[in-house]
Amino acid sequence: MTTKIIIWMIAGLLLGSLINTFADDVAFIQDYFVHGLFHVVGVIFINLLKMLVVPLVTFSLIGGVCGIGDVKKLGRVGIKAFCLFLFTTALAILLALLVSVTIDPGKNFKLIPGAQTEFVAPEPPAITQVLIDLVPSNPVAAFAEGDMLQIIFFTILFAICLLMLGERGRTLIDGAEKMNDVMMQMVNVVMSIAPYGVFALMAKNFALQGIDLILPMIGYFGIVILVLICHVTVTLMALLKFLGRVNPIQFLKKMRTAQIFAFSTSSSGATIPITLRTVEKRMGVDNSTASFVVPLGATINMDGTAIMQSVATVFIANIYGIELSLTDYLTIIGMLVLASIGTAGVPGAGLIMLAMVLNQVGLPVEGIALIMGVDRFLDMMRTAANITGDAVVAVIVARSEGNISMETFNDPDAGAVNPIELPHVKQ
C-alpha cells in the first residue's frame, strides 16, 4: 500500500507540474481536470478522512479512558504527553534557529520592486478566552464543528462518569469499543482508495502552484526542509531511542503511510484516523494511551509549524537588515513554545503565532507576505513532521506506562493494510 501511494503521489506531482508549465492557460484542461476531476476527487478524499475523525476519536477515547480504569493514571499519561509535546517543540525551535543563524537565509535577497508585501495580521486570542474555550457550552455544537479540544474534554469527562457508574455503565463501554472496531474498519476501507485521492490532491496543488514559485525563495525553502528532515530523523528518533527504547528504523518504516497521508492532506486533524490506526495496529500502542495522546498531539503539537516560523523570523530579519540579539532569540523560543499552546485549535494558528513573534522582536509583520507563496508546499512537509512527533510521543508514553506490545512493534507486517474483501452475502 505504501509503495502504491508513493507511486501515485509522484505521478500526481509530475502531472500537475507539467500542466502548470505547458497547459496553464488551456481552458479545457483547467476546467475539466484541474478544477473538475482532480478537485472533486481530492475534496471527496479529504471529506472521507474528516468524516472519520470525530466518531473515531470519541469512541476510541471512551474505550481508552475506560481501559485505563484509573483517573490518576489518566492524569499521569496526560501530563507526560503534554510535557513531551512542549519539549519536542522547544527542541525543534532551537534546531531551526541554530541552522538559520549558521546559514543566514535572506542575507543577499533583493526585494523585487512592486512586490506584494501587504499582510494583515490576525488578532491572537486572549489566554483567558483560550482557557474558557476548552469547556464546551454546547457539546453538540463542539462535535458538529469538530472542535477537537472541546471534544476531548467532554469525552474524557463522559468516560470518567461511565467508570464511576460501575457495572451499570458496562453496556455503554462495550458498545463504544465495538463502535471503535467499526470505525477502524472504515479507516481500512478509506485507505484502500487512498492512492487515487493522493494523486488527485497532488495533481491539483502542483497544477495551480507550480514549482516555479519555489525558485526565488530557494534559500528559505531549502532550510525549512533541511531542519524538518533533521528534526524527524535525528531529534525525534534520538528521543525515541533513549526515552522509548525502541528501534527508530522500524518506527520510520511503519510511519511512512501516515506521513504520506499527512503530506498530501496538509492537515494533522484530517490524518488523525490514519495516525491512530498506525500507532495502535502497526506500533502496538494500547488504545488507552493512543486514543488520548494522538488527538491531543494533532491539536497542540506544532513542531513543524514552529520550525517554519523560526526560520521565517531569521529570514525576514535578514531581508530587512535587522540584527537580532541573543535576547530576541530567547524571546522567539519562549513565544513560540507558549503560542503553540495558546493558539491550539484556532484557525490560522500558524500565521497568528508568526505575527505575534515578529511583533514581539520588532520585525515588520508585512514580511509574512513574502513567504506565503511557498507556504502551501511547506505546509505539506511540516504536517508530516507534526504527525511523526505525535506518534513518537505516543510510543514513548506507552513504553513508560507498559502499554505497548513490543511483539507487534517488532513485527514488520503487523497491522499492514490488505485489499478489502467484501463479505459474501447469501441469496
- Long-range CB contacts (within 8 A, 24+) of 372-376: 372/119, 373/213, 373/217, 374/213, 374/214, 374/217, 374/220, 374/221, 375/308, 376/205, 376/209, 376/266
* The three three-digit cell numbers of residue 286, written as one number: 494500547
Grade residue 124 by pLDDT with cuts at 50, 70 and 90. Answer: low
- Distance between alpha carbon 72 and the CA centroid of its chain, in Å? 28
Average pLDDT over the chain, rounded to an integer: 85
User: What value does the mean pLDDT take over residues 14-27?
Assistant: 88
Q: Is 47 left (phi over 0), alpha (psi -120 to 50) or beta?
A: alpha
How far is Cα 277 from Cα 284, in angstroms, rounded to an integer?
A: 10
* Cβ neighbours for 288, distance < 8 A, ≥ 6 positions apart: 63, 64, 65, 67, 68, 77, 403
User: In the chain, what percentage of residues exceed pLDDT 70?
Assistant: 88
pTM of the full structure = 0.84
| Among the ranges given (54-63, 120-129, 213-222), the one the predictor scored with the smallest mean pLDDT | 120-129
* The three three-digit cell numbers of residue 111, written as one number: 526585494
Which backbone phi and psi does 153 adopt, to 5 degrees?
-60, -50
How far is Cα 348 from Cα 126, in angstroms, rounded to an integer?
A: 15
- What is the domain partition of the chain in residue ranges? 2-410
- Judge whether residue 144 has pLDDT over 60: yes
* The three three-digit cell numbers of residue 324, written as one number: 537580532
Contact 288, 329 (CB under 8 A): no
pLDDT in the model for residue 276: 93
Residue 404 forms beta bridges with which residues? 285
pLDDT in the model for residue 149: 81
Grade residue 223 by pLDDT with cuts at 50, 70 and 90. Answer: very high
Q: How distant, in Å, are the alpha carbons of 192, 284, 302, 372 from that of 93?
A: 36, 30, 10, 20
- Judge whether residue 129 has pLDDT over 50: yes
User: What value does the mean pLDDT take over residues 59-63?
Assistant: 89
pLDDT, tens digit, for every residue of 99-123?
998 988 877 665 544 444 455 555 6
* Cβ neighbours for 13, distance < 8 A, ≥ 6 positions apart: 202, 203, 206
User: What value does the mean pLDDT take over residues 171-178?
Assistant: 92
Largest CA distance in the chain: 77
CA dihedral 370, 373, 223, 324 (to 10 degrees): 20
How far is Cα 315 from Cα 97, in angstroms, rounded to an integer?
A: 10
Topology given in CATH for the domain delimited by 2-410: Proton glutamate symport protein (1.10.3860)
Grade residue 422 by pLDDT with cuts at 50, 70 and 90. Answer: very low
How far is Cα 5 from Cα 9, in angstroms, rounded to an integer?
A: 6
Grade residue 343 by pLDDT with cuts at 50, 70 and 90. Answer: low
